[in-house]
Amino acid sequence: MHPAPFAYKAPHSVAEAIQLLRSHEDSKILAGGHSLIPALKLRLTQPAMLIDISKISSLRGIRRENGKIIIGSATTHREIEKSHLVAEASPLLASLAPQIGDVQVRHRGTFGGSLAHADPAGDWPAAALAVDAELVIAGAHGTRTVHAADFFTGMLTTVIHPDEILTEIRVPGDGTPGIYLKHRNAASGYATVGVAVTASHDHGHIGKVTIAVTGATSVAFRASGAEHALNGHAVSAHLLDEAAAHAADGLECLSDIHAPAAYRSQLVKVMVRRALGTLLHA
């Protein structure tokens, strides 16, 4: 199906893009287009204007600043996958990036687009939660910074207002070990369940573990019960078994043609256990 007709603008600055968003009520940001264009073709959304942010160079790139890694929202999945800085400073992000779609998707799709889209099966939301990312959002009155924990408000929804743009994402750059494990839908490659885990440990004692899950429920979440069961304790296989066994407690898992809720719930437990075992060697 063809999309409904729309006007197209490609501004060269964030200020210009915000001005366009404000002066055209029914407008939408176009980043990599790999979620938006399929939705346009299915006529799930019919904006009157698309504002293409791919010409705004300030939204692209990866740099280190005050110990953090700053990633422009229009940076592609592939640029993150290929970044030596990300590989060294954020093993979790480096582990996730190559698992998104295929190489064509990764060349077009963007970090910020994935977060702003908030697909329940999207991979980046889990990583953003696990590393406590800070998301910088620009609007007519300046910028505001939102923690990942407060950013996702439900299926396909975030705190970004219609006249705002996600400009950059800040993640810790301390090299904390992390891993993303994904049970891929065989047809689409999206996560049936994906788990993003970071863990620091010292002389057999767990410092801090973070566990975030995508694909299982309508919005990605932190498995805080399992995290609390681990933090500060001595590493043992029994401890990891116990924590993982409770990682899906209280969840209302999604059920669809790809996987029933009980299967997703079981995947959460199994994959959290595998990720913990890999990072904590138990």
Ligand X SMILES: Cc1cc2nc3c(=O)[nH]c(=O)nc-3n(C[C@H](O)[C@H](O)[C@H](O)COP(=O)(O)OP(=O)(O)OC[C@H]3O[C@@H](n4cnc5c(N)ncnc54)[C@H](O)[C@@H]3O)c2cc1C
Q: Is 113 in the site for ligand X (CB under 6 A)?
A: yes
d(CA 231, CA 275): 15
Q: Which residues within the stretch 66-95 sit at the binding site for ligand X (CB under 6 A)? A: 73
Q: Is 21 in the site for ligand X (CB under 6 A)?
A: no
How many residues contact ligand X, by CB under 6 A?
31
CB 121 within 8 A of CB 187: no
DSSP-derived secondary structure letter, 10: -
For residue 263, count CB atoms less than 10 angstroms from its CB and return exposed for 0-12, middle for 13-18, buried for 19 or more. middle
Give the range of 85-93, 99-107, 230-238, 245-253 binding ligand X by CB under 6 A.
99-107
Q: Is 60 in the site for ligand X (CB under 6 A)?
A: no
Q: What are 135's two structure tokens? A: 């998301």
- Sole binder of ligand X in the list 14, 18, 20, 34 (CB under 6 A): 34
Nearest CB to ligand X, comparing residues 110 and 200: 110
Q: Is 117 in the site for ligand X (CB under 6 A)?
A: yes
Q: Is 172 in the site for ligand X (CB under 6 A)?
A: no
CB 199 within 8 A of CB 209: yes
Q: How far is the CB of 6 from ligand X (least distance, A)?
A: 12
Rounded (10°) CA dihedral 264, 265, 267, 272:
140
Nearest CB to ligand X, comparing residues 36 and 280: 36
d(CA 36, CA 171): 25
- Sole binder of ligand X in the list 112, 120, 172, 173 (CB under 6 A): 112
- Sole binder of ligand X in the list 11, 33, 225, 277 (CB under 6 A): 33
For the window 177-216, what string marks contact with ligand X as x by the rule CB under 6 A?
A: -----------xxx--------------------------
- Sole binder of ligand X in the list 40, 92, 93, 116 (CB under 6 A): 116
Q: What are 73's two structure tokens? A: 């929202």
Nearest CB to ligand X, comparing residues 37 and 282: 37
Q: How far is the CB of 182 from ligand X (least distance, A)?
A: 8
For the sheet with 7-9, list strands across it.
7-9, 49-52, 27-30
Give the range of 27-35, 82-90, 229-237, 244-252 binding ligand X by CB under 6 A.
27-35
d(CA 242, CA 248): 12
CB 183 within 8 A of CB 154: no
Q: What are 245's two structure tokens? A: 């066994």
CB atoms within 10 A of CB 135: 25
Q: Is 119 in the site for ligand X (CB under 6 A)?
A: yes
Among 179, 154, 143, CA closest to 59: 143
- The residues of the shown chain that bind ligand X, judged by CB under 6 A, are 28-36, 53, 73, 100-101, 105, 109-110, 112-114, 116-117, 119, 122-124, 160, 165-166, 188-190
